[in-house]
Amino acid sequence: MWGKNQDPDEVIAGMSSGAVDEQTAEFSQLSDVIAMRDQFLEDQRLFKLLPEDIHPDPNQPRKHFDPDEVKALASSMDELKQHTPIKIYFSESQQRLQIWFGETRWRAKKDYCEDREILCVLVKEPDEKTKFDNQVDENVQRSSFTIAELLDITSEYFDRYEAEGHSDVTARVAERLKRPASEISRRATVISAMKVADLVIGGAFKQVIDELKLENLSALYFLAGALMASCTDRRKSPARDLVLQAMSEPGSVTKAAAETAYKQAIGKSKLSYSWKPKYLGLTEPKQEQKKADDTDAEKGATSKAEPEQAEAEEKKESAPKAPGRVLKRLSVDVLEDSQYLKLTANTGYITKEQALQLADNLKTAAESM
C-alpha cells in the first residue's frame, strides 16, 4: 500500500514485478474500483483493468497518435511489462473512468499487446483547466503535438485569457507554453485565417492544417498573412493556389513559395505566378497509345524481309515519338488594376480540349469579379 502523498511513479520504480502483481490481484474488477473509489483515492492503490473499462478523455488536446510509436510501446510492454501505471479518474459528468495521463499506453494495450490488462492508479477528478494544462505540459515537453493540435491549444489559451479580461494575452500564452511571443503571434495569424468564413481562406486552409497536409508553421504563417491581407482578390490568388496545391500534394508547399505569395499579396513583389493544368481544373491530355498487335500478314512480311530492311524497321519502331504540344504549365502576369491577363504556356501550345476548358474557366472567373 502506498503512502498518501507519494508519487505513483516513484513507488512503482521501487517495487518488484511480483509485488505489483500481488498488489493488484484483488482490485481487477471495474465494479470494485467504482464502489471503493474513495478508499482507492486515499490509499493510491494499484489495480488492473481491461481497455474496454477505461475511456479516453474527449477533451484531450492531443488527437494524433503515431501508430508506429504505439506499436513500439506495445512491443516494449509485452517484453518488459508495464511498469508505469496510467492515471485515471472517475468522471462525475460521464459516470465512467477516464484517462488523465497515459493514453498512448492505453492504446498500445488495447490494439497491440498480448497482455491487455492495464496497470492503473485512481486519482481525484481534476478541474478542466488543471487537466488541460497538465496534458499540454506532458506532451509539449516530448514534442508529441502536431501543428494542428498546437494551434488548437494556442486558440484555447487565447480564448481563456481573453475571457478572464487580460490585456497581455499574447505574453501570457507565450509564458504558459514556454515559447517566444513572436511564435505565438505567428500562430495567432494562422488561427485567424482558419476562422474566416470563406471556402479557400477559412475552409480549404483549415482543412490543409487539420489533415496534416502542411505542417511548416512558417509557410502557414506567410500563407495566412497573404490570405488575410487587405488587397484585391487577384493579389491573393498565388496564396490560394498554394493552398490548393497543398491539398493535392501534401508537403509540397515550401516556406519560400509561401513567402513569395505573401510579398505578392502586399505589393512587395511583382504579381507573377504559374499553375499546372490540374490546379486550373483542366484535364491532363492522354498520350496516344501505340498499337501493340500486328496482323498476321504484317508478321509474315517482316519475317521474309531482308535483314537490313528488318533492322531499319525495328529502329524506326523503337525511335521515340516527338513530344506532343500540350500544356505543362500556364504562367500569368498581372498588372494591378489592369483589365488584362498575360497567359503564357511553357510549350506555346495547348490542346483543343484544354483550350475549351480554359475558356470556360476564365469566363466563369470574369463573371464572378
Which residues on neighbouring strands pair with residue 275, listed in sequence order? 330
CA-based nearest residue to 41, from 8, 65, 69: 8
With cell 500478314, the residue in question is 297
Of 140, 172, 196, the position where a domain reaches its end is: 140
Q: Is residue 14 part of a domain?
A: yes
Alpha-carbon dihedral angle through residues 263, 265, 266, 269, given to the nearest 10 degrees: 40
Higher confidence at residue 298 or residue 37? 37
Which residues on neighbouring strands pair with residue 273, listed in sequence order? 332
Q: Is residue 96 part of a domain?
A: yes
Of 140, 161, 194, the position where a domain reaches its end is: 140
Tell me the one-letter amino acid at 364: T
Of 140, 166, 198, the position where a domain reaches its end is: 140
Look up the CATH number of the domain holding residue 73. 3.90.1530.10
Higher confidence at residue 325 or residue 291? 325
Count CB neighbours of 79 within 10 A: 7
Helix, strand, coil distribution of the chain in percent, nearest 5: 55, 10, 35
Q: Is residue 164 part of a domain?
A: no
Q: Which residues contact 214 (CB under 8 A, 6 or more apart)?
A: 208, 220, 246, 250, 251, 253
Q: How far is CA 86 from the centre of its chain?
A: 27
Tell me the one-letter amino acid at 128: E
User: Among the listed ranges 104-108, 162-166, 225-229, 319-323, which one has the minimum average pLDDT value?
Assistant: 319-323
Q: Is residue 195 part of a domain?
A: no
CA distance 170 to 168: 6
Task: Give the three cell numbers for residue 331.
Answer: 504562367
With cell 486552409, the residue in question is 205
pLDDT over threshold 50, residue 195? yes
pLDDT over threshold 80, residue 288? no
Record the pTM: 0.49
Q: Report yes or no: 177 and 154 within 8 Å, Cβ to Cβ.
A: yes
Please report the pLDDT score of residue 269 as a whole number: 81
Q: Is residue 304 part of a domain?
A: no
Q: Is residue 110 part of a domain?
A: yes
Rg (CA), the chain: 31
- Tens digit of each residue's pLDDT (9 = 90 or more) over 245-280: 888 888 889 898 899 999 989 888 877 655 555 555
Q: Is residue 368 part of a domain?
A: yes
pLDDT over threshold 50, residue 54? yes
Number of domains in the chain: 2
Please report the pLDDT score of residue 291 as a whole number: 44
pLDDT band at 172 (very low <50, low <70, confident <90, very high): very high
Domain interval for residue 346: 272-285+323-369
Q: Which residues contact 362 (CB under 8 A, 6 or more apart)?
A: 341
Tell me the one-letter amino acid at 140: V
Q: Is residue 42 part of a domain?
A: yes
